[in-house]
Structure 1
Amino acid sequence: MQTPKTSYIPCPDCKGQGYVNRGLSKRAKQRYQKALEVHRRFPSNPKPVKPKAHLQPCTTCSASGLIPAAQPPVPDTNTFPNVAIIGAGIGGMALAVACLHRGIPFTVYERDLHVDARSQGYGLTLQQAHTALKGFGIHELEDGVVSTRHLAHKPDGTVVGEWGMRKWDAGTHTTAKKTNIHIARQALRKTLFDQLGEAHQIQWGHQLLGIQPTDTGALQLHLEVDGTSKTAHADLVVGADGIRSTVRTMLLKPQLLPLQYLGCIVILGICKLKALSEVESPLLDSATVFQTADGTARMYMMPYDRESVMWQFSFPIPEDQAQALSALGPEALKQAVQHRTPWHAPIPQVVAATEPGLISGYPVYDRELLTPDFTKNWGNCTLLGDAAHPMSPFKGQGANQALLDALALAKRITKGYSPAKTFKASNLRKRVLNKFETEMLKRSALKVTASAKAAAVLHSEKVLQERDGPRGGVSKK
């Protein structure tokens, strides 16, 4: 018998935020009042900043902001803006789920014809976003794989670093760490899609052509569907349409903050473990992540699912050559990897056993950071995920940041409005979007910068330094 799907509604105690305000302590109030009195008596002294109240996890919903229910809430079109989500990738799908559980009306517009229309990338590692998944009603990832050991090698197999739970459990490390989960990108996307159920409101085969303000304050979307023009209306448009975002181009002149080439190409492959049945290696135990580097090129391997391993090979190359190599297709990409990796086992065996149809490659780009100065004139439009802050894959942060963006925006909308204070009675940009973008851009800027830095470090001699820890930053030695 099939288990009924669980729906969710906002937690009544924290209003869907996951945290409750416990107020200021008596001592903090006294300190502030004393400092304020000094300022009043001596105006030359700086005026004290009012301290912020402390937030604590909501015990009713275990900080998820949601509680189980028989049905999701009915979309509240009077209180909340009608949200048009452009793009049904990880970020767009996540925002749709966050809106569904909080009663925010939404429609997703996606140019693909269905959820499996094209490849949605390879594997990803959930780091900070692992905890945030509870805010989408996802408490367990059936397709997720937990890694317990991380190794760094030189090409001859010499280990220059080891870390992870297996090392800590052996007594050589005492610091508790959060668990990372590896999952296929499409598996996570379908988990989000399944959350939407029959209320998914996804318009497949819809290509955005333009956005135009109307006299009523709403936004008119111009779309193309199967060669025919169509219009739709929304109160808020969110571009979740990736690194080459159509919405971003409409909001920001294309010549501003263009794509920046980071000097290297990434070649990705997925290899079925059954194709490696004659290869004996503890590195292929579906619980180990390892990387091997020679000071220029780098191979990274991690569990893709319980039956496959994913590899990521990268090396410096001029942009025009990277584009040309990528255009040659899977066979040429595979040969390029094999030519550069006469390294320790099981790297040559894994690459050789990888089917060309499961290999792809692309030049690596990011963009100069957005700031609130760019976004303040966007009206009732905003961006999230790669559309807002594309970054290199070398910190594994793209999907994590998109999930955090989606949850943050949904929470901002629910926090900004109530039946007594609807979106129609206030400025959506000032009340919600400016705050959301300021927080999002500040948080993601650290990841964009670190990811660009990692692109340089991982393809340099620094990656060969002996130390037990991730190799994406500069050694503390």
Structure 2
Amino acid sequence: MDGRAVVVGGGIGGLAAGLGLRAAGWQVTVLERSPGLPETGTGLGIWPGAMRALDALGVGDEVRRRARRQAGGSIRRPDGSRIATIDVGRIERRHGEPVHLVTRPALLTTLAAALPPEALRFAAPVADPGALLDAYDLVVGADGINSVVRASVHGGRYPLRYAGTVAWRGVVDAESAEGGETWGRGRKFGLTPVGGGRTNWYASVSLPPGHPAPADDVAELRRLFGDWHPPVRRVLDALTPAGVLRHEIRDLTPLPSYVAGRVALLGDAAHAMTPDLGQGACQALIDAVALAECVRDATDLPAALRTYDRRRRRPTQRIAAGARWAGRLSQARRMLPVRDAVLRLALAAGPPA
């Protein structure tokens, strides 16, 4: 089937959907509310299934060129003692593809460059997604965790849920010899070397709803993690206020469907998940390719979208549930030896691919 499609949201999932739909013969317009592509951003792990999706979109080799192979690492206690080892090499042995680490701006730039300039419109917010159905055959909601397209389909019946943690993240000019996470009591700190003497970092703390925001994020991070082992302290010493992003971690109440008539949701608009498995961007890419495949030869668009829903809803909701469970495990405050044993068992089969 060919027709006119509009994608609301020009992030990773939206740009990927635009590329996939164009390859399937559709005329595509991608509407992005921001004035342009971001110039800064943290690193993303691209797992084998997501890399296959990028290959299907014709940009896999360019992403590999811009990326670096993600090295293995460890999960440690605050004193530096090892709880478990993360064997990312096992993924390559099993799937024939390593985990690639690429910055969000690099991935977005690669996807956007593969679209014709006229297909991507910046500074184009959408207030009434329903009105787009008058001009387009297909409306794709790829507009993130606070999706207006999702709200137009489901209203407020499936709200965002506070996951019980607050997170900080950023990139610093400090070298980290090894990646991985450090798990304390109700808090964790993660490090990923990104090359060039820089380190991608993130931290999270278990906090109740309604907690007050700290007056100084850098001071708060140093208070919370300043006595942890040296790799964490080196990152903390390199922090500047401008380089710290803070947000509450939320995920989405599972939806009963990702589609309604001629409207389809993908990525965070459909299944916003906590970041604990590193799968949010990856699943958005896979969604985009699956959507394009389902509508490529369809003669009945609503039926094709229902096929997309059957293909993607259950797998993504299982991953979202797994991410929420992993987040709760990492934020445990009691029975830490049991937590550590459960973690070792979970990693015995290798990280999720």
TM-score of the aligned structures, taking structure 2 as reference length = 0.89
Structure number with larger C-alpha Rg:
1
Q: Which residue of 1 aligns with 2:59?
A: 138
Contact 2:92 / 2:98 at 8 angstroms: preserved in 1?
Answer: no
Provide the residue aligned with 1:313 in structure 2: 203
Partner of 2:185: 295
CA offsets, 1:18-40, max 9 Å, x none?
xxxxxxxxxxxxxxxxxxxxxxx
Question: Could you tell me which amino acid in structure 1 is paired with residue 55 of structure 2?
Answer: K
- Cα deviation, 1:212-266, whole Å, max 9, x if unaligned, reads 46xxxx823xxxxxxxxxxxx1111001000000111111112x01111111111
From 368, 380, 394, give the equivalent of 2:253: 368
Structure-2 separation of matches of 1:366 and 1:472: 27
Taking a change above 3 Å as real, the CA distance of residues 212 and 180 of structure 1, as seen in their structure-2 partners, is closer
Contact 1:193 1:200 in 2 (8 A): no
Deviation at 1:175, TM superposition (A): 6.2
**Mapping 1:133-212, distance limit 5 Å:** 133-140=54-61, 141=63, 142-164=65-87, 176=94, 178-196=97-115, 198-212=116-130
Would you say 1:271 and 2:181 are equivalent positions? Answer: no
- The alpha-carbon deviation at position 340 of structure 1 amounts to 1.2
CA gap of 1:472–1:124, structure 2 versus 1, over 3 A, is: farther
- Residue 386, structure 1, aligned to residue 275, structure 2: no
State percent identity of aligned pairs.
24
In structure 1, how many angstroms separate the alpha carbons of the residues matched to 2:348 and 2:138?
37
* Inter-CA distance 446–433: structure 2 relative to 1 (3 Å threshold): same
Tell me which residue corresponds to 2:243. 358
Aligned residue pairs total 340
* Equivalent-residue separation in structure 1 for 2:194 and 2:152 (angstroms): 36
Would the alpha carbon gap of residues 174 and 271 (structure 1) be closer, same or farther in structure 2, given more than 3 Å must change? closer
1:105-158, CA deviations, whole angstroms, 9 ceiling, x for partnerless residues? 100111112223x76x52211112022210111232222121232111111111
How does 1:315-354 map onto structure 2 within 5 Å? 315-321=205-211, 324-325=212-213, 328=215, 332-341=216-225, 342-354=227-239
Equivalent position SS for 1:113: coil
Q: Distance in 2 between matches of 1:467 and 1:316?
A: 18
Q: Superposition RMSD on alpha carbons, in Å?
A: 2.5
Return the match for 2:300 from 427, 430, 435. 427
Q: Which has the higher mean CA deviation after the structures are superposed, 204-213 or 407-416?
A: 204-213
- Amino acid aligned to 1:344: H
Looking at structure 2, the residues matched to 337 and 450 of structure 1 have their Cα atoms a distance apart, in angstroms, of 27
Q: 1:65-94: per-residue Cα shift (whole Å, max 9, x none)?
A: xxxxxxxxxxxxxx4121100000000011
Q: Match for residue 82 of structure 1?
A: 4
Bigger relative CO (Cα 8 Å, ≥ 6 apart): 2
Deviations 1:257-276 (A, max 9, x none): 11111111111121113xx5
Contact 2:68 2:102 in 1 (8 A): yes
Mapped to 2, the partners of 1:89 and 1:466 lie a distance apart of 35
Question: Could you list the runs of 5+ residues in structure 2 that have no partner in the other structure?
Answer: none
Which residue number corresponds to residue 129 of structure 1? 50
Contact 1:269 1:311 in 2 (8 A): yes
Is this contact kept in 2: 1:143–1:305, CA < 8 A? no
1:396 aligns with 2:281: no
Going from structure 1 to structure 2, the CA distance change for 1:466 and 1:443 (only over 3 Å counts) comes to closer
Match of 2:133 among 184, 208, 219: 219
Contact 1:261–1:366, Cα closer than 8 Å, also in 2: yes
2:341 aligned residue (465, 468, 475) = 465
Shift of 1:381: 0.9
Query: Would you say 1:94 and 2:16 are equivalent positions?
Result: yes
| AA matched with 1:367 | L
Opposite residue 452 of structure 1, the aligned amino acid is: R
- Counterpart CA distance in 2 for 1:470 and 1:398 is 20
Contact preservation (8 Å) 1:129, 1:400: yes
Q: Distance in 2 between matches of 1:175 and 1:304?
A: 23
- SS state of the match for residue 324, structure 2? helix
Greater alpha carbon shift after TM alignment, 202-211 vs 357-366: 202-211
User: Is 1:115 equivalent to 2:44 in the alignment?
Assistant: no
**CA-to-partner distance for each residue in 1:264-308, whole Å, 9 max, x for gaps?**
1111121113xx5xxxxxxx23xx321111232111111234442
In 2 relative to 1, CA 370–398 (structure 1 residues): closer, same or farther, beyond 3 Å?
Answer: same
Measure the CA separation in 2 of the matches of 1:139 and 1:191.
9
One-letter identity of the residue aligned with 1:195: A
Partner residue, 1:444: 316
The aligned runs of 1:218-237 (5 Å cut-off) are: 219-220=133-134, 233-237=135-139
Higher helix share: 2
* Consecutive unaligned residues in structure 1, runs of 5 or more: 1-78, 221-232, 277-283, 417-425
Contact 1:265 1:315 in 2 (8 A): yes
Amino acid of the structure 1 residue aligned with 2:341: Q
State the distance in 1 between where 2:6 and 2:101 align: 30
What is the CA–CA distance in structure 2 between the aligned matches of 1:444 and 1:405, rounded to whole Å? 9
